[in-house]
Amino acid sequence: MKTSTDRLLKGAIGVLLGALVLVIYFSIHERVIGVGDRAPDFTITADDGHTVSRAGFEGKVLVLNFWATWCPPCVQEMPSLSAFQKTFAGAGVTVVGISVDQDERAYRAFLERMRPAFITARDPAARVNADYGTFMYPETYIIGRNGRVARKIVGKADWMDAGMTGYIRGLL
């Protein structure tokens, strides 16, 4: 009887250890969102005080850009991203820029100086970019009208490049 109890306990310990390993794995394993994936929903308060969510852009093309003031490529792409938003504003395309800046004063001063033409929000806890698996900046997700990631761009882009604008027109 002692042998069967020992085996039962060893089996139970093995099952519990396996479950523990799975729990640890899934709790630290970040999912990276890629092309074709459904874009995770998010809700964030934009700098203008309005609440913005991914679900609020269903039926439109959403360009979700993760950036920071301390990121030189992010700063370099800001003028073309603003021009892009102005060009496509009436066509059903919206740019939302989410900054991971910790320093609110630096962030506000940057916005005052650059005056981006798109919706901006600051997420110092980096919750939204964590949901997307973003860890490099700038990183941009072009989310189609169906809510799926149509394209993912890591690094700066020239948003007014003919190839880019043609691609966006093809999504509309």
**Domain extents for the chain?**
1-30, 32-171
pLDDT recorded at residue 22: 59
The CATH code that applies to domain 32-171 is 3.40.30.10
pLDDT recorded at residue 106: 93
Q: What is the mean pLDDT of residues 82-103?
A: 94
Q: What is the mean pLDDT of residues 11-29?
A: 63
Tell me how long the chain is: 172
Query: Each residue of 36-89: pLDDT tens digit?
Result: 899 999 999 999 999 999 888 888 999 999 999 999 999 999 999 999 999 998
pLDDT recorded at residue 20: 64
pLDDT recorded at residue 34: 81
Q: Is the pLDDT of residue 27 over 60?
A: no
Chain centroid, CA 82 distance in Å: 18
Q: What share of the chain is helix, strand, coil (3-state, %, to 5)?
A: 45, 20, 35
For residues 106 and 100, what is the distance between their CA atoms, to the nearest angstrom? 12
Banded pLDDT at 30 (limits 50, 70, 90): low
Cis peptide before 138 (omega within 30 of 0): yes
- Mean pLDDT over each residue of the chain, to the nearest integer: 88
Structure tokens at 64: 């979700």
pTM: 0.81
Q: Do the beta carbons of residue 61 and residue 168 sit within 8 Å?
A: yes
Banded pLDDT at 15 (limits 50, 70, 90): confident
Structure tokens at 137: 């900046």
User: Other C-beta atoms within 10 Å of 110: how many?
Assistant: 22
For residues 131 and 143, what is the distance between their CA atoms, to the nearest angstrom? 15
